[in-house]
Chain A
Amino acid sequence: MRSTLSGFGEGLLITGRERNDVVLLHADMVDAEVIAPFSLEFPERTINCGVSEQDMVITAAGLSLGGKIPVAVSYSAFLTARSFDQIRTCLAIPGLQAVLVGTHSGLSAGEEGATQQMNQDVALMRSLPGMSVMVPSDYPSSSFMAGIACGHPGPVYLRLGRDEIPDIGILDESEMRIGGGRALAEGDGVTICACGIMVHEAMKAAAILSQQGINAEVIDCFSLKPLPSQLILASLRRTGCCVVAEEHNIIGGLGEAVAALSASENPVPVRCVAVSDRYGQSGTPSELQEYYGLTFREIVGESAQVWSMRRR
């Protein structure tokens, strides 16, 4: 059990050893697992910008203009919301190469409460033309994505959580790319698209559904933008119904992206398991996950409903 946060920390160190143009900026992060591996080995390429996310993003743009690959890390709440203007103006519109890393996303800030939790970041970042949005679902994929993101010519938003989660099998590196996804379980009963921690809930749901005679196809949609459209559409053609699960507000996330894809290319019933347009509150991440209905149980329930309405 390990977090995507620490996976990214490892991946950034590996990438930093391969490329000397990667520069780490952070807004006074004390979370050792993400910052320490790189910063201890490359102190001359690490900048603690203080608690100034707006300045950090602008500085990252300046570094990018100077030929570097800036990797800017902060709480997703402050990185994406507080610095949205700077991200849009200085990185997204000019299409500069930069990696934005939002930590403590979703409900994973737990006891810190509603302001530190972040369920609107994907909506904000997806709305920016040219911005790629990636949400890894385990340590190995998060580690590998660090390298992918640093090699991408435009801006990338990477969403990380601090929940300790199991690794999902062996990583097939050929599947790991911006715009990619991976089918973790194959089936013709219902398509379950998920990202981040919800991939694990989707796998649990698939096990239960198979006992009920519904074979679920689980797709880890780690690339929310661009979406792995062909992978999803091929699955929808087989199953004729879909459930999307994400640790994000129901507005603006993976659910809307998949629903829009289905509506335009292959209309089938789509249901979303997500935060139902509410803010969070203090609690442990697992308590919050239960309270806001982000578990395998909701996925099983929604799957049974869309299955009964499936269109093939």
Chain B
Amino acid sequence: MKASVRHELESVALEVRKDVVRMTGLSRSGHLRSCLSVVDIIVYLYWKVLRIRPEEPHWPERDRLVFSKNHACPALYAVLARRGFFEREELWNYRRLGAMLQGRPEHFRTPGVDVPGGSGGMGIGLANGLLMSARIDRLDRRVFCVMGDGELQMGSVWESAMQAASLGSGALTTFVDMNGIQTGGSVESIKRIEPVRKKFEAFGWRVMEVDGHDFRQLEKSVAWSLSGPGDSPSAVLAKTVPGKGITIAEKGLLGSPACPLDRDRMEQALRELESSSGVKGGGA
């Protein structure tokens, strides 16, 4: 990856992070740490991988991104707005009555959202159905699923993981945001999901582990996934830092993961992000 491309992606991700802080701050909603951990993964996919047309969101031949990590939807919304699916002004109405951007993604309300969301553990199954329909229509559709690591505690994930291997489609790539946290604390202290690599491998998946904040590694993982044997789904286990980019969020000093940012902390977080890039301005 060229340095210029990396810098471009880093700059986009920084702006997305700022929008996420503004959205969660203004709406007094939580899951900031989970939003910030997944930003780089979806920025990379939306800017460098997905074959999409923001001006034509329902373009039938587009690739699909199944965002299963529903509680982190501010990150998805900020990415979609910046990618041109809708006006950025919509972000400030997030979670308000009548808003396009609901508390959990609804594909019929929001351009760019490809699937219904809300209850977790359904991403891989939705992806399987999208791939089956493409197979019947002989379409070359690629489907990317983005899920959280806490979601791996849900049984339906493994029903669908088994189905994906039976389907034998190499066009499915699932990114697991391995940020290590869930609402009640650390994932491993609540209900052990490890060894995740062995679990996916045992279910017939190819697995690669990457740093979920390193665009060069994310690039390699997508190339690896799409150049595979063609009959195995791939899981990219992306190690991430919850709250990435904001010191108090990274250190877990915000209270519970569902705890919203107050006004002061929102301003402080924005200042920290702005200083990290040397870029000023860009207010809500």
Interface residues of A (CB under 8 A from B): 23, 44-45, 47, 49-50, 52, 54-55, 57-68, 70, 85-86, 88-90, 93-96
A residues near B147, Cβ cutoff 8 Å? none
Contacts A50-B166, A66-B129, A94-B116 known; 9 new A-B pairs at CB < 8 A: A23-B133, A44-B136, A58-B125, A62-B125, A62-B126, A62-B127, A63-B132, A66-B132, A88-B119
Give the docked Cα–Cα distance between A47 and B163 (Å).
10
B115 touches A59 (CB 8 A): no
Give the docked Cα–Cα distance between A50 and B159 (Å).
9
Q: Which of B103-154 contact A (CB under 8 A)?
A: 106-108, 114-119, 122, 125-134, 136-137, 141
A65 touches B130 (CB 8 A): yes
B161 smallest CB distance to A (angstroms)? 9
A59 touches B162 (CB 8 A): no
B116 touches A61 (CB 8 A): yes
Consensus secondary structure, chain A interface:
helix
Of the candidates A23, A45, A65, A88, which one forms a contact with B126 in the assembled complex, judged by CB atoms under 8 Å apart? Answer: A65
Give the docked Cα–Cα distance between A59 and B66 (Å).
13
Of the candidates B132, B136, B159, which one forms a contact with A52 in the assembled complex, judged by CB atoms under 8 Å apart? Answer: B159
Closest 6 CB pairs of A and B: A62-B129, A66-B133, A58-B125, A55-B159, A52-B159, A94-B116
Most chain B Cβ neighbours within 10 Å, of A54, A60, A85: A54
A residues near B127, Cβ cutoff 8 Å? 62
Consensus secondary structure, chain B interface:
helix
24 A-B Cβ contacts within 8 A?
A49-B163, A50-B159, A52-B159, A54-B155, A55-B156, A55-B163, A58-B122, A58-B129, A61-B129, A62-B129, A62-B131, A62-B132, A64-B129, A65-B64, A65-B115, A65-B129, A70-B129, A85-B119, A86-B122, A89-B117, A90-B115, A93-B116, A94-B116, A96-B116
Is B217 an interface residue, CB under 8 A from the partner? no
Is B278 an interface residue, CB under 8 A from the partner? no
With contacts A23-B136, A68-B136, A89-B119 taken as known, whether A54 is within 8 angstroms of B156 at the C-beta atoms is yes
B residues near A45, Cβ cutoff 8 Å? 136
A residues near B118, Cβ cutoff 8 Å? 89, 93
- A-B contacts counted at CB < 8 A amount to 109
B160 touches A58 (CB 8 A): yes
A89 touches B133 (CB 8 A): no
Give the docked Cα–Cα distance between A63 and B132 (Å).
7
A residues near B126, Cβ cutoff 8 Å? 58-59, 61-62, 65, 90
